[in-house]
Amino acid sequence: MRASRNYFVTGWQGDSMAEQKLANSTAVEKAIEARIRESIRDLRRRGLNQDLQRHAYWVDGRELTPVQVDTLQTLVRKPVWRIKDLAEAIGVDPSQSSRIIASLTQMGLATSSKSSDDRRSADVTATASGRHWADEIAGRLDMLSGMVIQRLPPDHRYLLAELLEEYLEAMAEVRDQLKREAKIPGG
């Protein structure tokens, strides 16, 4: 388990106790923000996370990418998807979605065909193998996250769930603000 870090300003030569407290609280807040950023970065990049992901995403001697897994798990939610709707569901543009589907099709996990009612579009479905592997990957991910979560004390699990939900809400608020301010392309 990661040791917590103690970040406090020492050796302050301010004019008053109030100034010292303000400096300490500002320094502590900045240190906490840095710890959060570092932890999020570690979740994305750290080798141990990649090792666990490699275990979960391994399919027939090949490792799927996170976006391929997201796409496959989204595909199995409906019998047929239009490329445009699938792209929107996974948060990519249609051309990127087409490339992802091409790779999944090459692996036998999805099929793509011209749409019967709109010749400019393609319909995409998960194959039986794709549905099997989507279920297998979901089971592996559930098992792995369960193994990690069980190592936390019960009160920390509850707190982690609460904090992650709040963090995601805060992210959505920032995204919406940036869209309103036209700072997100296409927003």
Task: Summarize pLDDT for 139-174 with one digit per residue, the tens.
Answer: 999 999 999 999 999 999 999 999 999 999 999 999
User: Which has more confidence, 182 or 8?
Assistant: 182
Same domain, residue pair 122 and 168: no
Same domain, residue pair 176 and 122: no
Does residue 145 sit within a domain? no
Same domain, residue pair 64 and 132: yes
Same domain, residue pair 125 and 160: no
Q: For the chain, how many structural domains are there in total?
A: 3
Does residue 103 sit within a domain? yes
Does residue 89 sit within a domain? yes
φ/ψ of 70, rounded to 5, equals -55, -45
Same domain, residue pair 39 and 85: no
Q: Which domain holds residue 115?
A: 59-136
